Amino acid sequence: MTLPDLSKTPKIDKVGVHERTNRFCTRSIKTSAKQMGLHLALSMIDLTTLEGRDTPEKVKQLCYKARHLDDSIQGLPNVAAVCVYPTLVGVAKKELIGSGIKVASVATAFPSGQSTLEVKLNDTKYAVAEGADEVDMVISRGKFLQGEYNFVFDEIAAVKQACGKAHLKVILETGELETLDNVRKASDIAMHAGADFIKTSTGKISPAATMPVVFVMLNAIKDFYKETGIKIGMKPAGGISTAKKSLQYLVMLKETLGDEWMNKDLFRFGASSLANDILMQLKKQETGIYQSLDYFSKD
């Protein structure tokens, strides 16, 4: 793995990106396709709790929700993963035995990333030792914005090695990267350093995921695949709370990367509140009546 020649990174046409992403929001989706899309979106969700007040009981409740989204609706898929802090990975792992639902853990001094490499590697190794199937790391945005691209690359590569068999999702925290050109550059660095997924945000910074940002990242994935033959996953996280918005992202995914990326192995939503809105829409399709959001558990 080597740092790519960033002088060759394509410049982003901001106006063109916004015009293109606006078109994804005007697609008409038929009822049958909408139902399939909502099931697909549900299967791609990482249910997440990342608060200082998280407890084992709260994580157990979230895992129960992951396994029993709504038993009154037939044929629902499982969500993709439950994402927690490293200290609660063991709890989630035990609760999800036999479900096929992955356990993901944030690491590397999430969400700021302001720590030493030693601390970040120990954080990662601890999460994996506790049973994490996936690790969501944050890049050092300060170093990136200073132009220390080799530092960022080497740090990601070191965390990837520490992950062992666990998949690595690299969080760019795009709300702090300032420009779409920087988003593209950070995406290229992360993929060449060994990321299995690139992810927009921690959910702690606004703006989080936006369609222009995700479109730029999807195109970076497309170019990387053409160059290497390696498929990298994508995870927009934060700010995607409605079923309608999730379908717009899936339209963008299909038209940018094609059917091969239309699965939970290569695309995720980091948005726990999204699950409830999708369940409400599916219940409406089944019964013709909207349920109150209070019908569904918040965690």
Is the pLDDT at 74 greater than 60? The verdict is: yes
pLDDT tens-digit map of 168-217:
999 999 999 999 999 999 999 999 999 999 999 999 999 999 999 999 99
The residue behind tokens 């106006």 is: 15
Flag whether 85 is in a domain: yes
Neighbours of 288 (CB within 10 A): 7
In terms of residue numbers, what domain contains 14? Answer: 6-295
Give the number of domains in the chain. Answer: 1
Q: Would the pTM count as exceeding 0.75?
A: yes
Q: How far is CA 67 from CA 88, 200, 262, 290, in A?
A: 17, 26, 22, 23
Task: Say if strands 197-199 and 134-138 run parallel, antiparallel, or are unpaired.
Answer: unpaired
Flag whether 1 is in a domain: no
pLDDT tens-digit map of 207-243:
999 999 999 999 999 999 999 999 999 999 998 999 9
CATH code, domain carrying 154: 3.20.20.70
Average pLDDT of the residues of the chain: 93
Flag whether 29 is in a domain: yes
Residue whose C-alpha is closest to residue 150's, from 296, 4, 299 = 4
Flag whether 243 is in a domain: yes
Q: Which residues belong to the active site? A: 136, 199, 235
CA–CA dist 256, 156 (Å, integer): 26
CA–CA dist 88, 24 (Å, integer): 38
Give me 27's structure tokens. Answer: 């697609």
Please give the span between the terminal C-alpha atoms of the chain, in angstroms, as a whole number: 40
Please check whether residue 269 is in contact with residue 243, taking contact to mean a CB–CB distance below 8 angstroms.
no
